[in-house]
């Protein structure tokens, strides 16, 4: 399966989760009703019969209300994204400018994986008080995702082992598991909340009994309250059982999938298998001592809890044998890291300075790009293009490493600062046409200051001709820093980029889609926007919007050649007709204005992953009509995909089609 199919499976798992949740709620309601009957019998009040409709309705309504309110509270709390979970687990955000060897290595691996995946760089957290080997990914979308690791994971693993663990966590991000796992935390909190209520009631009753011990009526009331508290605590354990059952049923197969995906990404089973073997050989294993771990146990790379009953993860030995069938069953001994680590040579290569003429592409010599004569052409078959964007391959991981290593140091430093990240985005939004660009720069000078104007002008001469993979990598790196803007600073930044691309009264399609990428990710983050609800489940309901997108791509790919435009559109429309039996019509230039494109992308953002997949396959057929995909075409497809909420990796020629 590919990203889109995995996301579809995860989406359908949400329905299974709700079904299990309703079953658990029904069991808890029955237990609460039984507790109410027991209290009546103990106190001698009421009808003293087992079936009391009014009492049942009251207890059922009260239980549902408590569980619903608790789940809603937790879900609202989690609207802050993965950072909320990371902080609750005792995580510390790693400074992007860190000079610590292990932290720098971790940041590099996460940035490389993000570039390879085509997603914004997640914020990285370290759980300093945890010496075990474990990791997690949390967030509602790629806009607010975080990756967290324990200190043991960061310091005790080799680079290949750590890369395997991070690849496992990125699999959860890309396959839709992360969103499902966050929803699981919110729903299950309502079930577990009854146990918290029981504890509070017992403590309250115990304190009250000390003051009313000489008063018979008061003592009896305290005893009844104590009984209610003990009952709710017991019911809470029932809820805990159901919670573990639900997490185990949802998580186990997804962990096997993430392990397999990590191997597919890295083509190195020894990396992730080595990490699992070290967990088995480490006294602390993968256990997490933080109290929050029991609520978030299904997020982790390994079993965070010592109990094996209804564990959220498969047995360690089973996971290793699936990765390395020849494993002899012995776990690796783990020693403390050296006091002084050697420099990570692979990451310390000298970064090239950009050619002052702007003609040198940092991505030109990258393995797997197959650039043609400096024109930014990637020669792929239709099948390779579709395969390249629907799954992450070792070639793309290698490409992510190479892009990260080849980006000039001052570009990286710019992406890591608030002012520099804004300047990078301003630069990428500048028009290629000189007269239009001068108008944009003039507006930028009015809206900002002379220093920002000069920095952007200088950067443009360096960045203007770089490959699309590098451009979008810079965006992914910059968004991480832009999340650090204050609310007021973000509103100013948003206004400037909007004014910047509207200043010449003409908006380039790539500028428009890039603007959508930046604002979508940052709006999601700053405004805590929920992921859009699924509204469209087949392409037939979006045939008009599909026609707009495909016509636009065909026209952008073959300007001034009507026959080539028609042929590109025909290939895409035939693919949709043959695959889905749905017809799409060619649109006029007036029907493909930017406002129409924006509406089309907004609707596709509310479509199922399968619908998005069919559109992107048709898009690839359109731009591949001439047997190659240019840098500009790749920019557009990837930018449009990101604007729809399904970022795709860079296009590469894959050695093996999986």
Q: Catalytic residue positions? A: 169
Please enumerate in sequence order all residues whose Cβ is within 8 A of that of 491, keeping only pairs 6 or more positions apart, or say none: none
Nearest residue to 477 (alpha-carbon basis) of 427, 529, 524, 417? 417
- Separation of alpha carbons 117 and 647, rounded Å: 8
| 60: its two tokens | 């059922």
Contact predicate 117/60, CB 8 Å: no
Alpha carbons within 13 angstroms on the beta-carbon side of residue 595 total 2
| 97: its two tokens | 């400018």
DSSP characters over 86-131: HHHTT-EEPPTT---HHHHHHHHHHHHHHHHHTSPPPEEEEETT--
- Separation of alpha carbons 35 and 59, rounded Å: 10
SS3 377: strand
**How are beta strands 377-379 and 92-93 bridged, if at all?**
unpaired
**CA end-to-end distance (rounded Å), the chain:** 9
Contact predicate 158/105, CB 8 Å: no
Tell me, letter by letter, the H, E, C secondary structure of 552-575. Answer: HHHHHHCCCCHHHHHHHHHHHHHH
Q: How many CB atoms lie within 10 A of CB 345?
A: 7
Please enumerate in sequence order all residues whose Cβ is within 8 A of that of 447, keeping only pairs 6 or more positions apart, or say none: 495, 496, 499, 500
Place of tokens 């509070």: 200
- Separation of alpha carbons 49 and 94, rounded Å: 61
Q: How far is CA 603 from CA 55, 529, 594, 607, in A?
A: 47, 16, 14, 7
Q: Which helix (H) or strand (E) holds 188?
A: helix 177-212
Q: How many CB atoms lie within 10 A of CB 54?
A: 8
- Separation of alpha carbons 643 and 638, rounded Å: 9
| Range list of H helices, 361-433 | 382-390, 394-406, 409-415, 418-428
Contact predicate 497/582, CB 8 Å: no
| 432: its two tokens | 């290629």
Which strands sit side by side in the sheet containing 146-150, from one edge to the other?
A: 92-93, 123-127, 146-150, 135-138
Q: How far is CA 654 from CA 368, 375, 391, 393, 649, in A?
A: 7, 20, 10, 7, 12
- Separation of alpha carbons 539 and 555, rounded Å: 22
- Separation of alpha carbons 640 and 71, rounded Å: 35
């Amino acid at each position: 399966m590919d990203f889109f199919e995995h996301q579809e499976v995860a989406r359908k798992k949400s329905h299974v989760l709700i079904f299990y949740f309703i079953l658990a709620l029904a069991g808890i309601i029955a237990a609460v009703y039984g507790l109410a009957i027991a209290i009546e019998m103990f106190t001698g009040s009421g009808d003293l019969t087992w079936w009391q409709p009014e009492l049942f309705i009251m207890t059922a309504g009260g239980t549902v209300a408590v569980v619903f309110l608790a789940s809603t509270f937790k879900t609202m709390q989690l609207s802050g994204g993965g950072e909320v979970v990371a902080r609750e687990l005792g995580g510390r955000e790693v400074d992007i400018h860190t000079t610590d060897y292990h932290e720098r290595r971790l940041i590099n691996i996460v940035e490389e994986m993000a570039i390879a995946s085509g997603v914004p760089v997640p914020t990285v957290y370290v759980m300093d008080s945890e010496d075990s080997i474990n990791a997690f990914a949390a967030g509602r979308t790629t806009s607010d995702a975080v990756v967290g690791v324990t200190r043991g994971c960061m310091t005790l693993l080799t680079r290949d082992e750590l890369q395997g663990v991070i690849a496992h966590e990125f699999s959860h991000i890309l396959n839709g598991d992360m969103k499902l796992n966050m929803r699981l935390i919110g729903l299950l909190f309502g079930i577990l909340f009854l146990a918290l209520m029981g504890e509070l009631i017992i403590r309250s009753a115990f304190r009250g009994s000390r003051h009313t011990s000489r008063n018979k009526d008061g003592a009896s009331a305290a005893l009844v309250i104590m009984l209610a508290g003990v009952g709710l605590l017991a019911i809470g354990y029932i809820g805990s059982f159901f919670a573990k059952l639900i997490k185990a049923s949802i998580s186990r197969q997804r962990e096997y999938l993430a392990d397999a995906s990590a191997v597919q990404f890295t083509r190195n089973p020894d990396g992730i298998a080595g990490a699992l073997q070290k967990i088995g050989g480490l006294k602390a294993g993968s256990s997490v001592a933080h109290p929050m771990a029991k609520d978030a146990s299904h997020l982790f790379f390994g079993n965070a809890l010592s109990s094996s009953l209804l564990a959220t993860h498969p047995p360690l030995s089973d996971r290793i044998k699936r990765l390395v069938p020849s494993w002899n069953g012995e776990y690796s001994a783990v020693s403390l890291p050296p006091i002084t680590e050697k420099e990570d040579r692979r990451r310390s290569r000298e970064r090239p300075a950009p050619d002052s003429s702007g003609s040198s592409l940092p991505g030109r010599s990258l393995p797997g790009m197959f650039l043609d004569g400096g024109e930014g052409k990637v020669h792929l078959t239709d099948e390779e293009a579709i395969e390249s964007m629907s799954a992450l391959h070792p070639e793309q991981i290698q490409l992510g490493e190479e892009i990260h290593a080849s980006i000039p140091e001052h570009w990286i430093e710019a992406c890591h600062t608030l002012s520099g990240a804004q300047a990078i985005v301003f630069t990428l939004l500048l028009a290629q046409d000189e007269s239009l660009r001068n108008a944009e720069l003039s507006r930028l000078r009015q809206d900002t200051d002379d220093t920002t104007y000069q920095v952007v002008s200088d950067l443009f001469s360096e960045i203007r001709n770089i490959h699309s993979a590098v451009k979008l990598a810079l965006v992914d790196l910059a968004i991480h820093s832009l999340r650090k803007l204050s609310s007021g600073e973000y509103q100013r930044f948003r206004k400037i980029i909007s004014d910047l691309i509207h200043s010449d009264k003409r908006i380039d399609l790539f500028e428009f889609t890039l603007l959508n990428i930046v604002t979508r990710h940052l709006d999601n983050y700053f405004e805590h926007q929920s992921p859009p609800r699924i509204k469209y489940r087949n392409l037939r309901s979006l045939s008009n919007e599909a026609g707009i997108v495909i016509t636009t791509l065909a026209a952008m790919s073959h300007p001034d050649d009507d026959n080539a435009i028609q042929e590109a559109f025909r290939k895409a429309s035939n693919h949709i007709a043959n695959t889905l039996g749905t017809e799409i019509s060619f649109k006029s230039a007036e029907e493909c204005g930017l406002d129409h494109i924006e509406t089309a992308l907004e609707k596709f953002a509310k479509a199922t992953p399968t619908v998005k997949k069919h559109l992107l396959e048709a898009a690839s057929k359109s731009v591949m009509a001439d047997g190659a995909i240019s840098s500009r075409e790749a920019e557009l497809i990837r930018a449009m995909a990101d604007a729809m909420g399904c970022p795709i990796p860079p296009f590469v020629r894959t050695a093996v089609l999986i």
